[in-house]
Structure 1
Amino acid sequence: MSGPEQSPGFLLWHTTLRWQREIAAALGPLDLTHVQFVLLAYTWWLNSQGQQPNQLALATGTSTDAKMVSQVVRTLEAKGLVRRETDPADTRAKLLRVTEAGAALAPLAIEAVDAADARFFAPVPREAAVSLLRRLLDPPQ
């Protein structure tokens, strides 16, 4: 019988926790949590592509819970990083746009996370890591 150190799930759990600590340390000086970073960066990227997503599109695109997105977006709005506007086509929906401060912070945060990722994944060739993670995320049918 093999121990937990031979369990892929156990190793993934510990690896994920270590990676999350690295990302939190990288984002701490920018006063962002990991979830805030993901939602800010994704909104910034969509805005740069000419899109103004609503909160549901943001939740879908980031694979996060819609209620959590709503709460985190309110926090980002309170920090002056994101603006929520009523969608003229659906008054129940809120369209999202990064503010000037959010547009200045997003690239810095992305750079910090990219550097943390580079350090964390350095022992493994980037292409191999990306390939493995993609295969695990979307296995063949």
Structure 2
Amino acid sequence: MKPIPSEYNVVPQNQEQITASSLGNGKVLLYNGANFLHTMDNTARINIWIDDKALGQLRPGEYVVIDLDNQQYNIELLHLDAVKMRSRHSLEVNEDTKVIMVKPTVTSNKLEVTNVLPNNFDKFTFMMNR
């Protein structure tokens, strides 16, 4: 799937400085939590839009940190499997929102506020602007 260029001013973050306590109050980490099956068949790349503004493409094992105001957002996720799998999600960001996991599923996409860094976060890389 072709990546979308980010319309956000995304600045790479030093991974060692990212902790759950360093996030929140508008500073939100999004990561691609795709499982082995989606990475194996190359269907795990997810294009993300926030209120119709392109954030970019998160590949498996990638994360991005962005600043979001405390408000309601419409998130659109798209991944390519046999067909384009597009989903829309409503997200309420408040001072306690820290970590959001996105991932492809068999029939759609999933977005979940976890507020916990993934177990193997030390192996993740920052989302590249493609």
| TM-score, normalised via structure 1 length | 0.23
Question: Whose Rg is larger?
Answer: 1
More strand by percentage: 2
- Highest relative contact order (Cα 8 Å, sep 6+), 1 or 2? 2
| TM-score of the pair, normalised by structure 2 | 0.25
Give 1 or 2: higher helix fraction: 1
